[in-house]
Amino acid sequence: MRVYAVIFMLAVVPAFVVGDTPANCTYEDVAGEWIFEVSGYGGDNKIDCTKPGPVTYKLHVQLLFPDVAVDVQYGTKGFWTLIYNQGFEVVLNNRKYFAFSEYTQQGSQVTMNCSQTLPGWSHNVIGSDWACYVGSKVGPSKVHTVRKERRPDFSQMMYRNDKKMVEKINRAQKSWNATIYPEHEMYTVEDMRRRAGAMNGLGSSRPAPAIVTNQAKRAASSLPPGFDWRNVNGGQNFVSPVRNQASCGSCYAFGSLAMLESRLRIATNNSIQLVFSTQDVVSCSEYSQGCEGGFPYLVAGKYAEDFGVVEESCYPYEGTDISCSKEKAGCRRYYATNYNYVGGFYGGCKEELMRAQLVKNGPLAVSFMVYDDFMAYSGGIYHHTGVKNENLKFNPFEITNHVVLVVGYGVEAGSGEKFWIVKNSWGADWGEEGYFRIRRGTDECAIESIAVEAFPIYP
């Protein structure tokens, strides 16, 4: 994987490679004026952008609030969005541009220059003409240097359940139940971290939230009080079976492909029921970091649009960073299009909009923060309790950013508590037959901050 190659090249201590990319660029860092130096038009999607060639064109672009990109030379307007804190995508003059933000790592020190991108990919909207580019922001640049804490490394220690944590959670509240999952003790602390998402916490880099228009409010008010894609019109199920990601940080691939699987079932009234290969994404996508994480916008969306996905039987899941297998290229590829953040851009997500898009188009891939109490969830409507697993006190379970699939919502009879119905990828024995419910309407654990949708192309 080329993104990996970049990380390893720069990493003096390879063991330090954690999470998604270490870039942590905010909306304020990125909005403004940029020069994109484009090289090598006329390529196809096999183009290698790790070593961009001579510059053939300079695009001067202004990124304005909230999602407007302007070609400074010609005055044409397009679109842009931040992709969490990792980079940004611009769509302008019939071309798309995506790159990760620039960073370097030296030992425990990460230096990121949010005014610069790593080499990225540009192609025309139909994907027939690819080029590479590097972006630099005009004007004074802000460089963040972050020194990662050097904690003693207990990541290879076996994970240990905490009975007391479970008892405390169950005493503290009645809305959800915790239990002991003995199988969790088969994993190391590091495995559990990857299982929970691999990526660092959510929510810090959002621009000011968008205002929910009255129109969106009206659209949401006409929706049913409850909805579940597993049970539509008295029993039709449009959701593919629950899977298990094991100890690889591939939740983003499972959440993303589960959305495409389900939306394909919806589009074809269940006459096409495919399961897509998460290993293909883990091993072959340069838009994500294999078992170390990734984002649905770049997988269900960009990877599925630019490269397509294959069926599970073509490239079965192994749950490790095995290198991309070229002979798999012979398998039929399935594509998606019109990927977007609910609300239009990162920062625009709202509960009302999520419900409207869910009912209209199908399940949504969402991210949320996993704390250690969540690992013990066995049923009910989850909210974060703050109770910690004391057996991990030498290596507190870091907040991670996990990707899952929202398939429905409802209101609990009796308590009146509102919830989302969510498909996880920890096997069918976890939670409520592989699913969980979580508080709705309060952005619990940031679950209403970054919903993504994409539309599979009918094969």
CA distance 39 to 53: 6
Instruction: Please indicate whether residue 445 is annotated as part of the active site.
Output: no
Q: Say whether residue 113 binds ligand NAG (CB under 6 A).
A: yes
Is residue 251 flagged as an active site residue?
yes
Window 229-288: residues binding ligand NAG (CB under 6 A):
269
B/e letters for 56-80, b = 16+ CB within 10 Å, e = fewer, are: eeebebbbeebbebbbeeeeeebbb
Q: What number of chain residues touch ligand NAG (CB under 6 A)?
A: 18
Question: Closest separation between CB of residue 446 and ligand NAG, Å?
Answer: 13
From 101, 200, 367, 385, residue interacting with ligand NAG (rule: CB under 6 A): 200
What are the two backbone dihedrals, phi and then psi, of residue 426, each rounded to the nearest 5 degrees? -115, 25
Question: Does the footprint of ligand NAG cover residue 136 (CB under 6 A)?
Answer: yes
**144 noted as active-site residue:** no
155 belongs to the binding site for ligand NAG (CB under 6 A): no
Task: State the Cα–Cα distance between residues 59 and 71, nearest whole angstrom.
Answer: 7
Q: Reduce the DSSP state of residue 297 to 3 states and report it.
A: helix
Out of 10, 16, 17, 26, the only residue in the binding site for ligand NAG (CB under 6 A) is: 26
Site for ligand NAG in 379-408 (CB under 6 A): 379-380
Task: List the structure tokens of 376.
Answer: 């013990």
Judged by phi (left if over 0) then psi (alpha if -120 to 50, else beta), residue 183 lies in alpha
| Residue number with CB closer to ligand NAG (129 or 398) | 398
Our CB check for ligand NAG shows the closer of 75 and 234 to be: 234
Four-residue CA torsion sign, 173, 176, 182, 185: negative
CB of 119 to ligand NAG, least distance (A): 13
| 56 near ligand NAG, judged by CB under 6 A | no
What is the residue whose two structure tokens read 């359940």? 161
- To ligand NAG, the closest distance from the beta carbon of 289 in angstroms equals 14
CA distance 191 to 212: 39
Instruction: Identify the active-site residue in 25, 113, 402, 445.
Output: 402
Minimum Å distance from CB 111 to ligand NAG? 7
Instruction: Give the whole-angstrom CA distance, residue 15 versus residue 399.
Output: 19
Q: In this complex, which beta carbon is closest to ligand NAG, that of residue 243 or of residue 263?
A: 263
Q: What is the dihedral of CA 356, 408, 245, 311, to 10 degrees?
A: -70
Q: Which residues bind ligand NAG (CB under 6 A)?
A: 24, 26, 113, 115-116, 136-137, 141, 143, 175-177, 200-201, 204, 269, 379-380
Mind telling me the catalytic residues? Answer: 251, 402, 424
